[in-house]
A and B are shown apart, each in its own frame.
Chain A
Amino acid sequence: MNLRLFFTCLLALILSKCSTDTINVRNEKQGRLKATFKLEITDVKKFLLDNETAPKPQYTQLFEIPGGVRYFTFINRYNNSIYFYDYSTCTFIKKVLFNKKGPDAILIMTGYFIESIDSIYLYDKALTQIALTNDNGKVLKRISLRGNTADKNWFIDYPQYVPQTVTPFVKINDELLFPGQHMGTIPKAMIEKFKFTARINLRSHQVNFSYLYPKELYGYNYNWEGRLFTEVFEDINHENNKLIFSFPVSHDLYIADFKNEEFTKVYAGSNIAGTIHSMSSDPKQTTDKMTLTHFVQQDTYTAVKYDRYRNIYYRVLLNAIHDATVQTSWREKPVTIIVMDKDFKYLGESTIGKGDKEWFWQNSFVTREGLNIEYIEKDSEDYLTLKIFTLKNI
């Protein structure tokens, strides 16, 4: 009798371990979208790099000063600096170095926002701080993003940040918005509490947090382990002050007013993307390798960019590699750019090549010339190369 009870309990235990809820996010318009435009490369810009600078910087910002000079700036984590180039002529202008020691220390700079030359907001990953600095590297103010700074478990309640050109700081009025993310599966208890964007008031330096993950995508303990499924990509349409959020696991875009945190959904999928599945394993039993392999095998969306010069939107899709193994890097996924009009009506999409070896799509931004995407030169680190895409009729 006891033996039967033991086996019954064991079976129940096994079944309960296998009962993680999964979500299948279907692409309702797969195969039914009609393309009228495609993207073509119409310009190339090459920025000569010094001995201490590699291509593929983690963060870039195109910064325009009154008078019309456009600076293409980027981070150099090796020498803890920001480089300034003239975007139009591709000539080097200067670099601003930051200390690694002393009262002005910036320990691990991973992102920044240049409001003006004497107001540069840096994100210091080591301290989860925003430091207000100037172009002499002087720290004028430090702002913690950890909420209650005494709490060693701050990261349970507050976002973590992996700044990239395609997850930029956004300035709206007197506020600087800085998108972060939850690392891994969002526990059921957190889905209605965890807000992923820090809002820094530039006058008072108070920090608030906004925007919940959509419950229908990330709620119910769905297994989205790792960092990649819960990344948040965003851009702003300054014409209507709407923030546009792209979540990797949704064919839709989520649009919010910066004053109102409610989302409006709009379809913004690819004609070729299929159903996106969460993992069926228990999150606690899911290894990093399992997560990365699953990520490679799914179609997943990343950046969204608004083009104010053409009043259109671009969205990046990383195509699934269905036969991926644990050896396949997620960075190899082919890169497709979807283009939509001002009302998010599908205009077309173009697969431009592979990530990792060809395209560093993480450095994508819009100028009046078109959509700039960093191109990876084969076996050369002499230049940072941007290729510029514009729309062509099919």
Chain B
Amino acid sequence: MIFLIVCVTISCKKSVKEIESIYLKDAISKIKVNASIKWVVILPGLGCDGCIQEGEAFMKENIGNLEVLFILSKISSLKILEQKTGIKISEHHNIYIDRGNDFNIPTDNNIYPCIIQLVNNKVSKHEFQCPRNSQAFRKLKNLILSN
């Protein structure tokens, strides 16, 4: 009986990936995303330093690509981000500043940059640039180049 209860409890529990997916679908649906957007990059200001640096470097190289929307969450200083990337944030329409903290992903992965693929303006899949998945931005760059 106990075994059965444990099995049922485990099977009912959502996986981290599912929790993130539901959250991201909801959060993305609440902001106005241009139809041209195919990729969303959520760049946290606090978290894994090395992973965030990868994200900042990607943003610097790809800010002119209007198929990518950059969401800046938990940014401690826009001024320093502008210095690091050389990007004047107010001049780019594909940057969304998350002042309402609406992209605070409710799992321990929220310290990593998140890459979301959109299909027909809807979340298709997501992954994080993190020590276990350190090639995420490189893969995205290759995908963008191959399109």
Contacts and interface: CB of A to CB of B under 8 A. Distances in A.
Given A14-B2, A54-B77, A327 B104 contact: yes
A102 B108 CA distance: 36
A78 B76 CA distance: 12
A11 B83 contact: no
B14 to A, nearest CB: 13
Contacts of B76: 54, 56
A335 B112 CA distance: 28
A326 B106 contact: yes
A287 B111 CA distance: 13
Contact of B104 (A7, A53, A287, A329): A329
Nearest to B83: A52
A289 interface: yes
A33 B4 CA distance: 53
B2 A10 contact: yes
B45 to A, nearest CB: 11
Interface in A18-47: none
B145 interface: no
A205 B90 CA distance: 50
A288 interface: yes
Contacts of A325: 106
B107 A289 contact: yes
A52 B80 CA distance: 6
A51 interface: yes
A327 B6 CA distance: 28
Contacts of A64: none
Contacts of A358: none
B3 A381 contact: no
Interface of A: 7, 10-11, 14, 51-56, 78, 287-289, 325-327, 329, 381
Interface of B: 1-3, 6, 74, 76-80, 83-84, 101, 104, 106-108, 111
Given A329-B104, A381-B79, 17 more contacts: A7-B1, A7-B3, A14-B2, A14-B6, A51-B83, A52-B83, A54-B76, A54-B77, A54-B79, A56-B76, A78-B80, A78-B83, A289-B107, A325-B106, A327-B101, A327-B104, A381-B78
